[in-house]
Copies of this chain bind each other. A is one copy, B any other.
Amino acid sequence: MIGAGRMGTNLARRLMRAGHECVVYDADPEAVSQVETYGALGAASIADMVGKLHAPRVVWAMVPAALTGSVVDELATELTPGDVVIDGGNSYYRDTVTRAAELAERGIDYVDAGTSGGVFGLERGFCLMVGGKEDVVARLDPVFRALAPGVDAARRTPGSAAEPATEEHGYLHCGPAGAGHFVKMVHNGIEYGQMAALAEGLAILRKADIGVAERESSAESAPLGDAEFYRYDFDIPAIAEVWRRGSVISSWLLDLTAAALRADPELAEFSGHVSDSGEGRWTVQAAVDEGVPAYVLTAALFERFSSRKEGDYADKALSAMRKAFGGHVELPAND
């Protein structure tokens, strides 16, 4: 295991719980020490880690997408033919295709394993979307099965075969190199969309009391014609909670949101600058390349950009136009 951050540590721990032995390396020696307390063997460098493994080795890289390239380059020089590298990070699937081809020239197999589950994966299991050569992926089956949540994690879908398929355990060989990262990419794109849908809905509930406040009217702002219909003072944490049982929108994201709202109903600890880590962008680019309309996934991505004030120049341009044609002067914020 290369990388002992939130994800790497939990992957290693879950593997060890299933009886696998793990050697762990991280650029941060503190992180390595931490994982050693869970029973892993620490390594001081990639070379050290490789030396502590017996061929044919299986190395799982769990590092930020921006670092995967250099890690894989270093691995390429240390590993020997027959070894396998698993990239569990959020790599761009095109990079994966390229890396798999490069390692194949050295006789090293490359497997991409899109990994979902977040910080809860240790207990809940990880959902694994795998790409790579059929036989290599088959050989790794015990690894994936140990990490996956298992069949009991959800009610079986009606019409399933008696013997559960791997996808019912929570892992799936999706296709050749890059297929796992492609599916993980789309998974995250959907995640962005579902998060945004929920967040927008909560924001609409939150402002349902707008009719209570007095509003000054001017040529610069629309009168709220129906103030009497916007006088609800909703208990948003309670609403998130009630939706968790029996509603069509019950989901794990909602469970987490309800918990976050219970802990901090005003969400006061957050500034609202929402990062994006690449997969939402790549999903949009895939939609554009394929010619598939993806209004929702794209809007969800752009809302993250907007949250970081990336659209400010456009906003200023709008103000400049309004001043130019109508003499409109900007009102102060939150008019």
Q: Mark A296-335, 1 if CB is under 8 A from B, else 0.
A: 1111111111111111111111111111111110111111
Size of the A side of the interface (Cβ < 8 Å), in residues, is 179
CA A176 – CA B230 in complex, angstroms? 12
Residue in A121, A158, A312, A334 with the greatest tally of chain B CB atoms within 10 Å: A312
Q: Across the interface, do A116 and B321 meet the contact criterion of CB distance under 8 Å?
A: no
Main secondary structure of the interface of A (DSSP, over half): helix
| CB–CB B167/A241 < 8 A | yes
B275:A221 contact, CB within 8 angstroms: yes
Question: Whole-angstrom distance between the alpha carbons of A286 and B325 in the complex?
Answer: 25
B293 to A310, Cβ gap below 8 A? yes
Least CB distance, A282 to chain B, in whole angstroms: 8
Chain B hits for A232, CB < 8 A: 174-176, 178-179, 182
**A303-B298 CB under 8 A given contacts A267-B320, A332-B273:** no
Any B CB within 8 A of the CB of A31: no
Knowing A273-B319, A312-B272, A314-B303 touch, does A296 contact B200 (C-beta < 8 A)?
A: yes
Does A244 sit within 8 A of B, measured CB to CB? yes
Residues of B within 8 A of A311 (CB): 200, 203, 292-293, 303, 306-307
Question: Would you call A51 an interface residue if the criterion is a C-beta within 8 Å of the partner chain's C-beta atoms?
Answer: no
Task: Give residues 205-248 of A contacting B (CB, 8 Å).
Answer: 205-208, 210, 217-226, 228-230, 232-235, 238-239, 241-248
